[in-house]
Structure formats: C-alpha cells, structure tokens
Structure 1
Amino acid sequence: MLFQIKSYLKFLWHSKNEHAVHSPFVFSLLTKCFYDKKPKPEYEVLKEYRNSLLQNKNTIEVTDFGAGSRVFKSNARQIAQIAKTAGISAKRAQLLYRIINYFQPETILEIGTSLGLATSALSLGNPQASITTLEGCPNTMAIAKNQFKQFGLNSINSVVTKFNNYLGDFQLSAFDFRLIYFDGNHSKKATLEYFELLLPTITNETVWIFDDIHWSAEMEGAWEIIINHPKVTVSIDTFQWGLVFFRYEQPKQHFIIRT
C-alpha cells in the first residue's frame, strides 16, 4: 500500500491534462473520449450488471493461476465480495466503455474475465465486436457467462484456460486483435510474456490496455520495458491503466495523464 501511495504522489506530480498535449491523436482521444462527461444509457446497464453481482451472496470456490500452470491460490469467496474488491470500478468501467466506443475495435481479447464487469463494458462499447475473454477459474467464468446471457451480451466467446497455455498454443499471427485488455496476472514475468506472445498480432490500429501498472515495483518495471519497446510509439499512463499504441506514423511519445 505504501508503494502505491508513493507511486500515486509521483504520478500526480508529473501528470498533465489535455492542455499540455500537443499530439493531435492523443488530444482527440482525451477530449472526445477520456473527458467526455455526457451521460450514456449504457452506463445504466453497467450499473445494473454490477448491482446484480453485489446482491449475490452465494459463495464459490475461486482458483487463480500464476504465469504457468501452477495453482497459487484457491479459496471460497462470496460473489458480492469478488465484485466489490476484485472487479473493475464503476468509473473505470465507464471509461473502458468510452474507449471501446471511440475506437470501435472489431476484435477484442481480454485476459482475465473474473465476473465479467470489464467484459460487459467491452461488449457495450461495440456490440458488433467479436470478443474473446480468457479466465483461469471455471467457477467465476460460470457466473460471468450467466451474466452475459442475462444482459444479452451475445458476442462474447468465453474460454476457461491458463493464459500462457492459450497464448502459447494459439496461432495468434492469424488473428488481428484490434484491442487487448490485459487484466489477468499482475506480475512482471507474466505481463512481459503476454506482451511478447501477442506482438505478432499488432497492426497500425491496435490498442493495448494494461491494468494495475503501478500495483508494485515489478509491474512498474514491466511497464517501463513495454513503453521503451521499439514497436511501441505512443504510450499513456493513467496511473491504474497503461495504454500503448503501435502507430507507424507517430513519433515515439509518452504521456502521463490525469483522468
């Protein structure tokens, strides 16, 4: 916790808003997407999705996996508590919705479904998008799939798998994931493994979002390696999320942005 507080204070010191941004691409993203305060009917759906989970007092066995196949945690947890503590916040879900709605990616990969709070924002942002979401725990995925059905989110392909097995075995070069949301394993080793495995899928329009980039010194280290990679041109640090772009025509720039 102390590390995150120090990181946040450092972030506040260096962060800017749209008035300090001279990139037309990033300025447009901030003004038309990040800072869009207009109400959206989809926000009510996101709220209902969240509330239905917060009201669910049932208990399930939750199993999490590390970067490999080793199980490192398995315990009984109340669904409402998972939604409250492990899921994306309401504010972040709305921002994720706006990002998807702004870029309109046709194909989306999510690494880490949990109860599907973020997945619902991905789907509502572009209902026509083909979404693949990966989750290691079959019990949380079962809850998420029931939620998707209940809320009519029909374009989601839910896969129960160990992330590195799926990414390592799949013919990823044959796929064009226009947006990837990384929220499955908050360790430096796993994050960099996923980054390298998925690089063959990038295009000029690709958007990648990494969750919890300041969660630990390890994650900050992974984030630094990612933004300095030669294929990454534009990167945006919003403290909780890091966004990276691979736009060939853009000069390499890094932005620290308050949201």
Structure 2
Amino acid sequence: MNKLNAWAGLLARYLRYYFRAGTKYGVHSPFVADWVANVLEDTRDYYAFFSIEGLRQTLSRSGRRLAGNPGGAGYFSAPAGGPSLSYLANRVAVPPYVGQWLFKTALWAKPKSMLELGSSLGISTLYLGAAAPRAQFLSVEGWREAAELAAAHCHEAGLANIRIVHGNFGEALPQLLPHLAPLDLIYIDGDHNGFRTLEYVEQCLPHLAPDGVIVLGDIYWSADMAEAWKTLRQHPAFRVSIDVFHLGLLFPRAEQKEKEHFTLIRARRKFWRVGIWR
C-alpha cells in the first residue's frame, strides 16, 4: 500500500506539473531561451550517448547483487538481498533523456569545475564528464560498492578528470568543498530527502560560482522533495529557476533584478501551444 500511495502521489504531482507547464513559445528571457534551445529542445545525438547507453545495456543484463547499504532516500522497492546491477541500471540510474539533458546542460554551461552528489553506477557521472572532459570533476557516492563500480566505469571510459569519493554527503562536503575551485555546476541526486537536500544546497552555496548552476534531480520524487524544491525556488540566492519535472535548475544570476521561475515542457508534448496558445 505504501508503494502504491507513493506512485499515486508521484502521478498526481506530474499531472499538476504538466497542466501548468509552458513551452519554448512562452519564454521571453534570452538567458532561459538559450538554455531551452541548447538543452530542452535540442534533439542532436552525440557519440558519448551511445557508449554510455551501451554500458547501461551491459549492466541491465547483470544479475550481480551489491552488498552494503545504499544510504539516502529514494528506493521505492529495492529487491530483498540487495539490488542487482540490472535493477540499479534500469530503475535507479538516470534515464537516457535526463542523462542527455545533463550532458547538454554541461556542454552549454562550459564548466571548469563540477560536483556531483550521488554517483550511483556512474551513468549520470559519465554524461556530465563526457560533456566537460577538461573540467575538475568530483563525484561523491554514499554507497561504497557503487562508488567503486562508478570509478571503474569512468576509468574504462577514459575520463581521467573524474574523481569518485565514497562518503556521507553531509560529512564529506565540509571536508571536500574548501579544496575545490568555485563550482560552475553542481548536480545533487543522491538522497531524495527534502530536508537534507536543503542542507546540501546551503553547504554548497558559498562555493558556487557567480554564473554557476545547481541542478537537482527528482524534484517531485516525494512530497517533501517537492516542498524542498518550492523552498529553493524562493531562496534569495537564486534569481532564475527552471522546472522540467525530472530536474530543477537554480541560477544565482545576481545581475538580474527580478526573480523568474519557468515550468517548462518540450513543445512536442504540448504541440497545440504555439503562438497565442503558448
């Protein structure tokens, strides 16, 4: 029953998002329109996509189970005895289209320094790292067995700029952040607990570059994650926020006087919203 209620709640949150979401035709901010054109509406495929999805296919055929405690929140129904690589690749790792949004956001932002909270098997890590192979990139994973696999996958992909660290986010951040360059892109997706997500953002904020971006994964995973997203949209440190349901993006943009929030969906999913019907 709890699982059913969780999925019902997620569906209700998606429907609310869908009905209020606008399309590219209603975006008048040049900054956001540029992101929409280069990320949300960009249909180009890159060579990296095929190699990363090839890895996912390999993992999805593996029945190997990982021992240990995943930690964090966000597993509706991990199988008894520990989740298999197949389960993690198909149910926990970012889906291909979200991975592509991450890749294209990094390609668009041109970060020199990135931080990820939640490596899992390294699928999202590879998408980000492939888009910015020269960036200093630190990824933190709370599950030791997953962190070791993610590091191996990054090594096999030839992305030497990625460093995977095992550790609890709340404990690791104070030790790691002071040694990092100002962060141009921060991706938080390893603990779907709203209260802790707010804490991670507050810890990272002093280290975010003025023109940087914080990307949050699964902002509607639960009621408390949705509430955390609402709180962050209203945070005085962020002048621009973008909601595409699976991801939320927060931009400081201190030079912008007025706060702006955009709830967006690909135009093809609301094909009738063009011109005056946007």
TM-score, scaled relative to structure 1: 0.93
RMSD: 1.8
Measured in 2, the distance between the counterparts of 1:215 and 1:109 equals 21
Measured in 2, the distance between the counterparts of 1:15 and 1:108 equals 29
1:150 to 2:156 alignment: yes
Residue 43 of structure 2 aligns with an amino acid whose one-letter code is K
Equivalent residue in structure 1 for 2:253, among 231, 239, 247: 247
The 1:178/1:75 distance shift into structure 2, 3 A limit, reads farther
Aligned match of 1:100: 106
The higher relative CO (CA closer than 8 Å, separation ≥ 6) is in 2
Give the stretch that moved more between structures: 111-120 or 28-37. Answer: 28-37
Aligned match of 1:70: none
Measured in 1, the distance between the counterparts of 2:156 and 2:130 equals 14
Given that 2:117 and 2:189 are in contact with CA atoms closer than 8 Å, whether structure 1 keeps it comes out as yes
Q: What is the Cα deviation at residue 100 of structure 1?
A: 0.8
Aligned match of 1:214: 220
Residue 121 of structure 1 aligns with an amino acid whose one-letter code is Y
Q: Greater strand share, 1 or 2?
A: 1
SS of the aligned residue for 2:82 comes to: strand
Give unmatched runs, 5+ long, in structure 2: 1-6, 74-78, 267-278
Aligned match of 1:258: 265
Given that 2:177 and 2:207 are in contact with CA atoms closer than 8 Å, whether structure 1 keeps it comes out as no
Equivalent residue in structure 1 for 2:130, among 111, 124, 143: 124
SS of the aligned residue for 2:221 comes to: coil
Measured in 2, the distance between the counterparts of 1:106 and 1:176 equals 9
Q: Deviations over 1:125-180 (max 9, x none)?
A: 11111110001111111111121122212111110011100113345386311100
SS of the aligned residue for 1:38 comes to: coil
Residue 205 of structure 2 aligns with an amino acid whose one-letter code is L
The 1:256/1:145 distance shift into structure 2, 3 A limit, reads same
The 1:174/1:91 distance shift into structure 2, 3 A limit, reads closer
1:29 to 2:35 alignment: yes
- Once superposed, which parts of structure 1, at least 4 consecutive aligned residues long, lie more than 4 Å away? none
Give unmatched runs, 5+ long, in structure 1: 68-72
Measured in 1, the distance between the counterparts of 2:142 and 2:161 equals 20
Given that 1:182 and 1:209 are in contact with CA atoms closer than 8 Å, whether structure 2 keeps it comes out as yes
Q: What is the Cα deviation at residue 96 of structure 1?
A: 1.0
Aligned pair count reads 254
Q: Deviations over 1:222-241 (max 9, x none)?
A: 11111111111000010111
Measured in 1, the distance between the counterparts of 2:200 and 2:65 equals 31
SS of the aligned residue for 1:37 comes to: coil
Aligned match of 2:46: 40
